[in-house]
Structure 1
Amino acid sequence: MTDDSHIISRIIAHMNKDHVHNLEDYLVVYSHVDSEIAKRNPTLETLSLSSMTISYIDMHGTKCFIRIPFEPTLQSYRDSRNKLVEMAQKAAAKRGFSEYLINDIPFKFKDWITVFLFISLYIFAYDPSILQYLIGDQLLNLSSDVQSYIMDYHITVFRTILIIHCLEAIVILYPLLRKFRMSTLKKMTCLLLCMMEGMVFLSSFKVAVDEAQNPKKPKN
């Protein structure tokens, strides 16, 4: 059997840098550590063919160590990646999360346009005189019938859009934000953007989900 123990340090460094949330899941699911305590600096300390050891800081500030066995025992350290991924998927699923994490708010140039349009609708609903000025004789000079139609229904249109976007934010986006463990502040920002953009923001977030689940492999 080829000795591949030289990759242990690389695996440990990678887990501690990019997969802290998975270490937290391991502690909660496989060692029944309280979920709030498991968030306190979970660190992969050691890795062997039979187990891994993860540390965390308890409520008294004491560093605690938990050994989590591998079942069955690994045949080589190169098998550890698949094993850690498998354990991460199962642990995250039991907690109602994804094994992947999304930290960045997907906001691109097209989002600025959509937000601008939504804010414009809000301003027109708040102060219809501004809309009347834009569509009236002073600027666009629309026909009186068109002006009357716009002024009669623009508030209804704005309210309908807002209700639909709020439903999309609550029913579709919020479960995704929770599943991918976005921080509270960023979660609120995403919900606000969805209330303004609706499906435009949802499509951007789903692209971010796809990128998280199918990361591009670094070139050698």
Structure 2
Amino acid sequence: MSDPKQRIISHMNKDHQLALVDYVVIYGNVPLASFVPSSVQISDVNESQLDISYQKIDGEKKTLPIVWNHAVEREGVAVHSLSDVKGKLVAMAKYAADKQGYSHVQIKTVAYPRRPLEIGLYVFGAAILATLYDKHLLRRLAANDRLFSAVANYLPFLGKVHTVFENHVKTIAVAMYGIHIVEIFTWTLPLARKYRIPFPQRLGWAAMNFVEGFMVPRRLKSLVA
């Protein structure tokens, strides 16, 4: 069986460096801009304390000792042995992230649309673009398609709906995408900040929100549910 101490150090340094950065900022009271985040590593851990090493922007190397009994967090986890360290580190990660206005969970991915309604909104967006380009383009395409013509014969009200769509497409587009833009700035981007989504992925979430609307922030939140 591997050494518990080395297992903790290896796991945290490899998979939870963001939490270590938060520890330095909150428990060490060190401004994020003053050190190199990628340099942060656990150098030692025992039943009494955690030692974190990091490098300042000017190149100076520092060590931050965090005594378990002095490490404030909301769950009141006590460390009596190395088996208690995991629970303490998790509680500290939640506390340190929350103090900065973040979640201790980071989202690094983009979840693409899969449900029929989500995909349908891209089709609807394409229909809007086509109609803005040429008001009667979709009508001509449908007239030359046997399936669409047959459906139109059985469901004549669809023609009336499409006429309304043609005549009011600009209003529909401005209203719908205007609401989506508001959602981006009031819902999706605040969530992206909370979960510290990297900039390229953040742009992806915002772009999908522009097309899909409220389903995107709901899908984003489902990743951490």
TM range (shorter): 0.7 to 0.9
Check conservation: 1:23, 1:43, Cα contact below 8 A: yes
Distance 2:79 2:164 in 1: 72
Distance 1:145 1:97 in 2: 49
Does structure 1 residue 84 correspond to structure 2 residue 81? Answer: no
Report the secondary structure of 2:126's partner residue. helix
Report the secondary structure of 1:71's partner residue. helix
* Residue identity (%): 26
Report the secondary structure of 2:26's partner residue. helix
Q: Structure 1: which 5+ runs fail to align?
A: 211-220
| Most deviating of 200-209 and 7-16 | 200-209
Does structure 1 residue 15 correspond to structure 2 residue 12? Answer: yes
Question: Residues 113-192 of structure 1 correspond to what in structure 2 (within 5 A)?
Answer: 113-134=120-141, 137-139=143-145, 140=148, 146=161, 148-192=163-207
2:104 to 71, 77, 99: 99
RMSD: 2.5
Check conservation: 1:7, 1:77, Cα contact below 8 A: yes
1:216 is matched with none
1:46 is matched with 44
Distance 1:48 1:195 in 2: 50
2:114 partner amino acid: F
**Distance change in 2, residues 1:179/1:5 (3 Å):** same
**Distance change in 2, residues 1:146/1:96 (3 Å):** closer
Count of aligned residue pairs for this structure pair: 206
Q: Structure 2: which 5+ runs fail to align?
A: 71-77
Distance 2:160 2:94 in 1: 60
2:217 to 202, 206, 219: 202
Report the secondary structure of 1:98's partner residue. coil
Distance 1:115 1:194 in 2: 11
Using the size of structure 2 for normalisation, the TM-score is: 0.81
